């Protein structure tokens, strides 16, 4: 379940819908008719997309906005696309700017499909929609569920893990030792899937790039350094990441990751 919420003081709900299409499109699938370098009110570069909101209530705010669009052209302003679990709780959100209602189509099942144009700072990952639907009944209960996803859709797992709101769940107290299961680390994306779960449990998040990983080590997103990290089955990562170059001379991606940990006081043991 999804909803469109106005980005104003009242946070007005503009309508619930059962699904959204052409929104989780990944960085490679920007709509070609729009410029991929749009300056939006000083927000910087971004992307324009045209998501289709499926199963909209035909008598709600969006319907009235379509009927009264007139000179405003269906403009709804800035908003949020909220993701809800099966109980209706909001578990994640995406900011969408300059939302304009472009098309309205009513079906025979008593619901409607609304097409909107909107601006996003970065394109929601192609695999994220699938992960949100799986997590709508609850986050994963065991680690490595991301392994079943194709390599191209694991970025969607990382995106959802970073945005997921866990409500009142308690965070485990800081420990002196953490174990990273490296058996499935075949590329950089799978490393961030694995390190998120090593530090914050099933479905956990601990950065999606080296700068974010460095921020996490200061605390606020899980355990803060210093601690000891035992990297089990590290030979898999040595083979996969040890040969990937970085902008640093004579340094691989694996070298950069280990250096990031050690610079913040983490002892890394490659087991």
CA distance 212 to 104: 40
The mean pLDDT of 102-120, rounded to a whole number, is: 91
Give yes or no for a contact between 150 and 157, defined as CB atoms under 8 angstroms apart: no
**pLDDT recorded at residue 144:** 97
pLDDT at 94 over 80: yes
Among 228, 227, 180, CA closest to 204? 180
Give yes or no for a contact between 122 and 49, defined as CB atoms under 8 angstroms apart: no
**pLDDT recorded at residue 173:** 61
Instruction: Please report, to the nearest 10 degrees, the dihedral formed by the alpha carbons of residues 106, 110, 116, 121 taken in order.
Output: -160
**pLDDT recorded at residue 13:** 93
Number of Cβ within a 10 Å radius of residue 78: 16
Helix pair angle (234-241, 188-200), 10° resolution? 150
CA distances from 212 to 207, 219, 250, 271 (A): 5, 11, 23, 25
Per residue in 42-92, pLDDT tens?
345 789 999 999 999 877 888 888 888 765 568 899 999 999 999 999 999
CA distance 7 to 146: 32
CA distance 214 to 257: 9
pTM of the model: 0.88
Per residue in 131-187, pLDDT tens?
999 999 999 999 999 999 998 899 999 999 999 998 765 555 678 999 999 999 999
CA distances from 155 to 48, 135, 187, 227 (A): 20, 15, 11, 27
Residues in the chain: 271
């Amino acid at each position: 379940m999804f909803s469109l919420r106005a980005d104003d003081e009242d946070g007005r709900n503009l309508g619930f819908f059962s699904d959204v299409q052409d929104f989780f499109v990944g960085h490679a699938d920007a709509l070609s008719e729009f410029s991929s370098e749009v300056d939006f009110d000083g927000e910087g570069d971004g992307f324009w997309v045209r998501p289709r909101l499926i199963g909209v209530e035909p008598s709600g705010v969006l319907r009235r906005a379509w009927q009264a669009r007139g000179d405003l052209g269906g403009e709804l302003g800035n908003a949020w696309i909220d993701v809800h679990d099966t109980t209706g709780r909001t578990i994640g959100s995406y900011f969408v700017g300059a939302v304009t209602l472009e098309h309205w189509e009513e079906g025979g099942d008593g619901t409607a499909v609304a097409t909107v144009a909107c601006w996003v700072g970065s394109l929601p990952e192609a695999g994220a929609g699938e992960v949100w639907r799986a997590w709508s009944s609850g986050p994963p209960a065991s680690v490595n569920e991301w392994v079943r996803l194709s390599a191209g859709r694991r970025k969607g797992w990382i995106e959802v893990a970073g945005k997921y709101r866990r409500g009142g769940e308690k965070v485990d107290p800081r420990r002196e030792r953490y174990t990273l299961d490296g058996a499935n680390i075949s590329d950089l994306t799978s490393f961030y899937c694995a390190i998120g779960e090593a530090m914050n449990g099933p479905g956990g998040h601990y950065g999606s790039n080296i700068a974010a990983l460095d921020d996490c080590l200061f605390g606020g997103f899980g355990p803060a350094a210093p601690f000891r990290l035992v990297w089990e089955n590290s030979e898999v990562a040595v083979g996969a990441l040890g040969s990937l170059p970085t902008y640093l001379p004579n340094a691989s991606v694996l070298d950069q990751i280990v250096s990031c940990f050690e610079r913040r006081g983490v002892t890394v043991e490659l087991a």
